[in-house]
Every structure is written in C-alpha cells, then in structure tokens.
Amino acid sequence: MLYSEFVEIYEALSKTTKKLEKASILAVFLKRLKNQPAEFIYLLKGRVFPEYDPREFGISDKLVIKAIAKAGGINESDILKKYRKIGDLGEIADAFIGKRKQSILFHSKLETKKVFTNLKGLVEIEGKGAVEKKLSLISELLNSATGKEAKYLIRTLLSDLRIGVADGIIRDSIAEAFLKEEENAADKIESAYDLSNDYAVVFEAAVKGKKELEKINIIPGKPMKVMLPIKVTDIKEAFRICDKPAAIEHKYDGFRVIINKDDKGNISLFTRRLENVTKQFPDVVKIVKENIKGHSFIIDSEVVGYNPQNKKYLPFEAISQRIKRKYDIEKLIENLPVEINAFDLIYYNEKIIAHIPFKERRELLEKIIKTEKLKIRPSMQLVTDDEDKAMKFYHDALKSGEEGIMMKKLDSPYHPGRRVGYMVKMKPDAQDIDLVIVGAEYGSGKRAGWLTSYVVACRSGDEFLEIGKVSSGLKEKEGEEGTSYDEITKLLKPLITEEKGKEVKVKPKLVVSVIYQNIQKSPSYTSGYAMRFPRIIHYRPDRRPHDIATLKDIESEVKKQKFQPHGIQ
Ligand code: ATP
C-alpha cells in the first residue's frame, strides 16, 4: 500500500471535527487496510507500536529542521524563521519539500511498508552516532516523499498528528467496517481492546468476525487494563452501590502494580498505565517468586513504599522515582523498599477467573500468598453489613495514615478497563483531581530559570481544556520531600511546542494531582471552569493524559458543591 493512501485519509480526517463522519471515513479505509499487515493501524495514531509500548521516536524539533533542510535543499535558518511564525513543522515540510518535488521529474513512490520500517528503526537507534543514523533514516523517507507525505511524516515523528482520532473513533470505525449487523458492536470492540490493549490484535480479529473477536482474552505477561472505582462521599452511598455485606479495604497510597506470572513461569510487572516496570522492581519479582504459589497468575496489587529506618509507610510521591529509574536500582531498593498489598486475583493456573465472584477470588488469593511483614500481604479487609463498623474501619484507616477506604461488592466479577460499581473509593479530600499540564510560565527572582506556573487542563474526548493556573505545591530545593520546580522544568522543556516571552505551550504529557478549594464557572479558561486556590500535591508519572479528570467529572464536582455552599472541607 502506498503511503499516499494514508495521507489522503489523514487529510480527510483533519477536515472534519464530527466524530460520526470521522468514523465513517475510517471505516471505508479500514476495509482497504484489511489486506495489509495489521500493525499498520498504529499509524492512524501516529505510532508504530501499541499504546502500552512506551518506546518513542526520540526526535527533537532541531533534528526535524535539519532533515527538512537537507531534503528540501534549503537553509536551516529559513526553516526556523518560518517555524517561529507558523509553529507547525509539518506544514513547513509540505511547503519546502512540495516545491522541491515539482522540480524532480522521476521519483520512486513511498510505500507504507518502508515508512513503517524506518519509523520502527528510529526507535532502536541508541548511543554513538545516533543523531546521524536517525537523520539518515528520516532523509531516506523525505527524499521520496511528496509535500503532503512529508507533512504527515514530520507530524508522526513529532507525535503530533493533529487528525483528531481518539480511541473511540477507531473503535466505532472497526465496528462500522466489520460488525455492522452486530448488536452493541462498539461495546464488543471496546471490551476486546480493554483485554488486549492492542488495536492491531482487535482489528485482525474483527476482520475475521465476531467469533474471533470473542477469543481475545486476558493473557498473563501482556498488559491488562485495570478495573477502577467510583468515588463516593458517604458510607450509605458506598453500601448502596456495593450491597450489604461488602468487603472494605484500606486504600493504600502507593501505586498500582499488576503482577503477572505467565505459563512459562516468567514474572512481569505492569503499572496502571500498562508500562512494563519489571526491570525497575527486581525486589518485587523476588518476593513474588518466593511468596506466591502457582504456575501462572495475574494479581492486582498496590505497592507501597516505606522508610527503611523507622519502617513507616511513605506517601506515593516518595517512591514515585522508582517507577522511572533505570540505573542504580539496587541502591534505590535499599533506600526505598516497598511492600506488596495484593487485593485481587484475575488469572490462576492457566484459567481466567475474572468472572467468578470477588469473594471467591479473594479466598483463593489469601490461600496462595505467604504473608511476610513489609514484603507481601493480602490487603487488610473487613467484611461487614454494619455502617458503624464500616465507619470505624474508615477512621482507623485514616489514623494509620492511609488515604481512605475501598469498598468492594462481594459477588462482582473483575471487569478490566472499566470504572464500574463493583468497587468504590471513599476518602476525605474529595477535591483532588488529576490534570495535565498544557502550558507554563518562567518564574522570576529566586525562581528564575524554572517553569513555575502551570496551565492545567482536563479532558473532553480527545481535547484538553484549560481549567486554571497553578503555581504552588512544588519544592524549591532538591532533596526536600516531594517534587521540585527544577524536576518539573526538566520534564517540561522537551515538551515545549511554542514560546512567547515568558510563556510556553507544552505537549499534554505530564499529569499532576491538584487540590483546590472549589470550582467556579469562568470564561477565562477553555473548559468554562476555574479552580480556586489550586495546589499541586503530586507529580504522577504513573498516569497518562488519558487518565485525567474529564469535563464530565468537573461538571459533577460543581453540581456536588451546589449542595454544600461552602465547598467540601
Ligand atoms: P484520585 O484520582 O481521587 O486521587 P487515585 O489517584 O488513588 O484517586 P483512583 O482510581 O481514584 O486513583 O483510586 C483507585 C486506586 O486506588 C487504584 O488504582 C489503586 O492504585 C489504589 N488502591 C489502593 N488500595 C487499594 C485497594 N485496597 N483496592 C483497590 N485499589 C486500591
């Protein structure tokens, strides 16, 4: 298949904002794509790997400018000048390379396979001479690209395709193309995606039909989307959703780890963002090997850090660096050891057990874990129908420094990827939400050189809508507990897409938890709302922009506030 066919679709998709239209355009295209390698579907999201694979092209604006200059036979400074004006290197490539193309009579046509191979190749390049090697792979593509092809190649390289295709649209288009007669087809596609997290797998199965789609299931060793809770504000509501009696557990302030042992005995660990963190946690792997019985399993857990000196549990923030760290791991393990709190079992000894009642899954979980202090334990649990006892458990959890409680429905299945009423969370500060940073401003005086004020946004479908500016909550000095301005500045700088005076715009990648006093309607921000007295409490390297609060969440918070005129304290 020629890459120009993809480009035609990219152009058509970017011309409409209507979701239904986008899905129909894509459905027609998918019927053509079905005879190609299934992984080509990743190109619709500007990728060459499934979403859970964290590998990136690692291409800077500077390198792209070099590549365009080389392919178009122009000066880098001319490109830079234009870039400052229009801010889209894709458009610039279109103009310059398009012009060059007209003067060349014969050129080979760009095949999608070639694009895919070179893009994949970029990810593998590391070490000495990496920049030159990357440049040569990009130039090879640009040399046979038309202007429009160059535009989308560049946008793909910069992870900024701008065609407005979110997961929902891919889901609907697969349903429309291959399961048109089926009832709830989109739902079926979504469930298959929640289990595989891979559109190539779902697409390939859907082409073959419903039966093949139904075969997609949980496999240990592959990342799986976790089940999420609904938020409640009182114990009555919790019992109303979970029925009586229900299981209540401490809500630990760590991070979620899905522990996998596959049928060959390999152990792998995934976060809620589907990132493979096995290498960062050899200590957890060792505990799993020694303390859990079974040839194969998938266990859901919260991994919590503690202070090795006084053995006290630490907040998430303190151990968050362990998720990203790729070196000096042994030393970090000594300074920041962790404990596994296992709370669910989804797969056991070659069998999926997600459909059996939670009560039975939990019984089996308790049987297979050898509890060892500060290493592994089943999460603390109380099964009760008594509201007073439940409230006492809640207060005890808070007293021992936990975030609150989780209540779980005893006869419920495990539903990967869904925020369903099989589990609820209750905690005192109802007003902390996860948001993504979309802009920032350089500080002055003591804070000069750092980005110290951040424009944060919530999500509405594929779009990020601003909801306020936050500048407090971070630390000025390295070494104090918590995230520092310096750290966030270093993370934000490579994400800058536009600079104007002291203000910058950044790619929406960095997720932060923000607390606030209340939310008000406001014309100043694109969401239509603004937070009062916002403060960053955590940087969340374990969350993706997709996981942040949605506009709907914000609207329901505002509604709740109406019943509590002074805001929830
Ligand atoms: P918020 O977004 O309100 O700050 P949160 O960041 O902790 O809450 P939520 O999805 O709202 O995330 O809460 C569910 C999370 O709580 C789970 O993803 C898991 O990491 C954590 N958790 C802690 N203890 C438990 C438990 N016993 N059972 C299930 N999840 C637990």
pLDDT band at 282; cut points 50, 70, 90: very high
User: In a 3-state reduction of DSSP, which class is residue 514?
Assistant: strand
CA 388 to centroid of ligand 1, rounded, Å: 23
pLDDT at position 431, please? 65
pLDDT, tens digit (0-9, with 9 covering 90-100), for 103-147: 565 567 999 999 999 999 999 998 889 999 999 999 999 999 999
pLDDT, tens digit (0-9, with 9 covering 90-100), for 163-181: 989 889 999 999 999 999 8
CA atoms within 13 A on the CB side of 149: 23
Q: Is the pLDDT of residue 257 over 70?
A: yes
- For residue 251, the ligand 1 atom closest to its alpha carbon is 24
Q: Residue 12's closest CA among 199, 164, 169?
A: 164
Q: Is the pLDDT of residue 384 over 70?
A: yes
Average pLDDT, rounded, for the chain:
91
- CA–CA separation, 452 and 471 (whole Å): 6
pTM for this prediction: 0.71
Cβ of 434 below 6 Å from ligand 1? yes
Q: Which residues of 124-160 are buried (b: 16+ CB within 10 A; e: fewer)?
A: ebeeeeeeebbbebbebbbbbbbbbbbbbbbbbbbee
pLDDT band at 152; cut points 50, 70, 90: very high
| Geometric angle at alpha carbon 293, from 414 and 245, rounded to 5° | 40
- Percent of the chain having pLDDT more than 70? 96
Taking only Cα atoms into account, the Rg of the chain, rounded to an integer number of angstroms, comes to 25
- Percent of the chain having pLDDT more than 90? 67
DSSP 125: -
User: In a 3-state reduction of DSSP, which class is residue 238?
Assistant: helix
The answer to whether 426 touches 234, Cβ cutoff 8 Å, is yes
Cβ of 319 below 6 Å from ligand 1? no
CA 199 to centroid of ligand 1, rounded, Å: 27
Candidate from 224, 406, 418 with most ligand 1 atoms within 8 A of CB, to mutate: 406
CA 173 to centroid of ligand 1, rounded, Å: 32
pLDDT at position 566, please? 33
The mean pLDDT of 87-100, rounded to a whole number, is 88
Cβ of 343 below 6 Å from ligand 1? yes
CA 547 to centroid of ligand 1, rounded, Å: 12
Candidate from 425, 429, 556 with most ligand 1 atoms within 8 A of CB, to mutate: 425
CA 548 to centroid of ligand 1, rounded, Å: 13
- CA–CA separation, 75 and 69 (whole Å): 6
pLDDT, tens digit (0-9, with 9 covering 90-100), for 39-91: 999 999 999 999 888 788 989 889 999 999 998 889 999 998 888 888 889 99
Cβ of 425 below 6 Å from ligand 1? yes
Cβ of 301 below 6 Å from ligand 1? no
Q: Is the pLDDT of residue 399 over 60?
A: yes
Q: Is the pLDDT of residue 362 over 70?
A: yes
Q: Is the pLDDT of residue 568 over 70?
A: no
Q: Is the pLDDT of residue 208 over 90?
A: yes
pLDDT band at 484; cut points 50, 70, 90: confident
Cβ of 468 below 6 Å from ligand 1? no
Residue nearest to atom 7 of ligand 1 (CA): 253
Residue nearest to atom 11 of ligand 1 (CA): 229
The mean pLDDT of 408-415, rounded to a whole number, is 96
pLDDT band at 419; cut points 50, 70, 90: confident
The mean pLDDT of 360-364, rounded to a whole number, is 98
pLDDT at position 563, please? 46
Q: What single string gives the DSSP state of each residue in 74-105? A: --HHHHHHHHHHH--HHHHHHHHHHHHHHT-S
CA 180 to centroid of ligand 1, rounded, Å: 37
- For residue 272, the ligand 1 atom closest to its alpha carbon is 18
Which residues are marked as active site?
Answer: 251
CA 181 to centroid of ligand 1, rounded, Å: 38
pLDDT band at 436; cut points 50, 70, 90: very high
Cβ of 249 below 6 Å from ligand 1? yes
pLDDT band at 264; cut points 50, 70, 90: very high
Q: Residue 288's closest CA among 226, 212, 345?
A: 345
Pull the structure tokens for residue 41: 């579907």
Cβ of 515 below 6 Å from ligand 1? no
Cβ of 256 below 6 Å from ligand 1? yes
The mean pLDDT of 333-362, rounded to a whole number, is 96
Longest dimension (CA), the chain: 82
Pull the structure tokens for residue 139: 């130039």
